[in-house]
Structure 1
Amino acid sequence: MSRAIDVYTIGFTKKSAEKFFKFIRSSNISTLLDVRLNNVSQLAGFAKRDDLRFFLRELCEVEYIHLPELAPTKEILNPYKKGEMSWEVYQDKFLNLMAKRRIEKDIKSILLQGGCLLCSENEPHFCHRRLVVEYLNDSSELNLKVKHLY
């Protein structure tokens, strides 16, 4: 088994900017990996792409990278958000999408070490960021030690 890689996940909803950036700063995160499909929504507040990149750099000395290949497609996400698809079906479709994309071949351990996957959901239980790290643990040689920040 390879050496464990510390990786974090966080959602921005139900968090003040103060709480969000304190989590990032206190967790020794080096790179925020944005796994949202839409990272420029007006609803994102302080977590809009350009604002977030600025705040991370200035407040936390953290790099920002958008990884839309780790996000579900609109065809998967929208029916789930509208309540037209159960979590179980959403999860199955997203896991199949990651397998089809072969994300485990493209994601390098150096990117994940000290990285933090960002999505909008407050908690990881029903969020694709949790599915991403679980999929990578199951489908690659990566040994991810995951800590969800919420």
Structure 2
Amino acid sequence: MKKLPTKKKKINLLTIGFTQKTAQDFFELLTKNKVKKVIDVRLNNVSQLAGFTKKQDFPYFLEKIAQIEYLHELDLAPTQSILTEYKKNKGDWSIYEQKFLQLMKERRIETKLSPELLDNTCLLCSEAKPHHCHRRLVVEYLQHHWGNINLVHL
């Protein structure tokens, strides 16, 4: 009898930006969507502008409020030069996108992460919407390589 190919299990990968959200809205979104882990993809997570998502406070809040694990993954963050060129020098998004995707390729993130690790995980960045945020690019890059991601932007 001929063996049929097995279908890859779809993983649920979410993204969220904390800007323009209250702490209550933020944590309720994570809880309602059954997030098990938050992976912080910000290069800088210590700024006072980060509010309730500052590095020294955020893991505590996630655990105590929603029993969510925290991980800061710099391999999924842009380099300082890519970020500076885009943010401070008012760079072009399409150039940022190309440079960031090339960085993901060079870092070979598809081999460093596993779909199982990312199931029911939420990628965190600061941007309110995913359109011009690297968290969207990370997921699209992984989708291209793995092909089994169910994406939800919160």
Does the alignment pair 1:144 with 2:129? Answer: no
Gaps of 5+ in 1: none
> Which of 114, 119, 125 matches 1:119?
125
Match of 1:73 in 2: 79
| TM-aligned CA deviation for residue 111 of structure 1 | 1.5
Paired with 2:95 and 2:64, the residues of 1 have a C-alpha distance of: 40
Q: What amino acid does structure 2 have at the position aligned with 1:75?
A: S
Using the aligned pairs only, state the percent identity: 49
User: Which runs of 5 or more residues in structure 2 are unaligned?
Assistant: 1-6
Q: Secondary structure at the match of 1:15?
A: coil
Once residues 102 and 2 of structure 1 are traced to their aligned partners in structure 2, the CA distance between those partners, rounded to angstroms, is 21
Q: 1:71–1:128: 8 Å Cα contact kept in structure 2?
A: yes
Matches of residues 1-150 of structure 1 in structure 2 within 5 Å? 1-139=7-145, 141-149=146-154
State the aligned residue count.
Answer: 148
Shift of 1:73: 0.2
Report the equivalent of 2:3. none
CA distance in 1, matches of 2:152, 2:96: 23
Deviation of the 1:50 alpha carbon: 2.1
TM-score (normalised: structure 1):
0.95
CA-based RMSD:
1.0
- What SS is found at the alignment partner of 1:49? coil
Distance (Å, rounded) in 1 between the aligned partners of 2:10 and 2:150: 6
